[in-house]
Structure 1
């Protein structure tokens, strides 16, 4: 997929069947598997996380303009963790360059981040609870875009419908991953070198368990 392709519309029927059938959320299993995945490629994960930190730090020195730049890059950088996790989940070897393949999906990821950010912010401003609902409901958007080459709006809607089926369980997962990253921040920020990739892998593993992987190349 080229970086500036909008993505495609996919047949929603398989997702509709899945929504009707339901699923279970196994938080402890996802975190454990995320930790194990991190350990097997610890050098690559820490190296890429350092790259993200450097980009963030350089952007912060550019004030408001830098914040806009980093916001535009953030979704593609996060998608890099997801692509590496997907490859490991199907037994493929990884290369460090795989972390940057999220930029192959730049436009739909950017548009999804922009649209979901606006909707979540609006929901929080209005009544708070709608914003929290949407923030959790969009957890699978990145994965759907890179796994199905899906356009951003369909990815947002399918993610919302799937997660709404077991919203409180996924909310529990989101809280657990947030808590792990908070511990990383409290460990003088250095802990984020571990917690950021572990939680990103755990989220990708949750997607694979709940939705399943569609593609074999990303």
Structure 2
């Protein structure tokens, strides 16, 4: 398998690991607290963008959906970029949330292709879709951190997470419950639970894959 940076991906696949759900969620909350204003502000921006795109869809369907498809990957990566900087104890700026556009093509492709495959998996009796949705958890972080191409990132994420898939499923299920609770609070709780969830995923990635100090962010 190809090596990205100084870390051998083959070596990572040979290691065993434990999914520490409670630790990752606690870390996610700590990451959120260290830049609460930025995370809340960016979440509000994403909500507003989605509302505008919904209006565009009503007026000129399916233009809004096409725009969403084109920008969702790089925008969603913004949470991870800032979370990684917080984990590395680096200063953050609001503009960091939009730095995913500096690496647009692989982030767009990993979002597009994984979304298509997950969607097809749900059509095929649902279970394959659930398997892929969990298995691709690290695909976006790998593109950001290891500068992997979209397919290598998806495949490596799938192979690594499949080693402990049911634990990751439990992790994902807990995050879904947390966001469901956030939605019940008139939706305002999502301003906290969405970035908390991404922070928890960033913490899991740092624990299992590793987060070297030498990086663009």
CA deviations on 1:137-181 (whole Å, 9 max, x unpaired) are 000010000101111001010000000011011111111111111
The alignment status of 1:141 with 2:139, answered yes or no, reads yes
Over the aligned positions, Cα root-mean-square deviation in angstroms equals 1.5
| DSSP 3-state at the match of 1:61 | helix
Give the Cα–Cα distance (whole angstroms) in 2 for the partners of residues 111 and 41 of structure 1: 29
Q: Report if the CA contact (8 A) 1:44-1:96 is conserved.
A: yes
Aligned position for 1:61: 55
Give the Cα–Cα distance (whole angstroms) in 2 for the partners of residues 15 and 175 of structure 1: 27
Give the Cα–Cα distance (whole angstroms) in 1 for the partners of residues 15 and 152 of structure 2: 20
Aligned position for 2:114: 116
Residue from 176, 179, 200 that aligns with 2:177 = 179
Aligned position for 1:11: 3
CA deviations on 1:176-214 (whole Å, 9 max, x unpaired) are 111111111121111111111111111111111110114
CA deviations on 1:33-91 (whole Å, 9 max, x unpaired) are 11111112111111111111111111110112112212321111111110111111111
Give the gaps of 5 or more residues in structure 1.
1-8
Aligned position for 1:50: 44
Give the Cα–Cα distance (whole angstroms) in 2 for the partners of residues 74 and 10 of structure 1: 28
Q: Report if the CA contact (8 A) 2:28-2:196 is conserved.
A: yes
Count of residues paired in the alignment: 210
Q: Report if the CA contact (8 A) 2:78-2:99 is conserved.
A: yes
CA deviations on 1:108-140 (whole Å, 9 max, x unpaired) are 111111111111111111222111111110000
Instruction: For 1:158-173, list aligned pairs within 5 A.
Output: 158-173=156-171
Give the Cα–Cα distance (whole angstroms) in 2 for the partners of residues 68 and 184 of structure 1: 28
| DSSP 3-state at the match of 1:43 | helix
Aligned position for 1:97: 95
Q: TM-score, normalised by structure 2?
A: 0.92
Offset of residue 10 of structure 1: 4.3
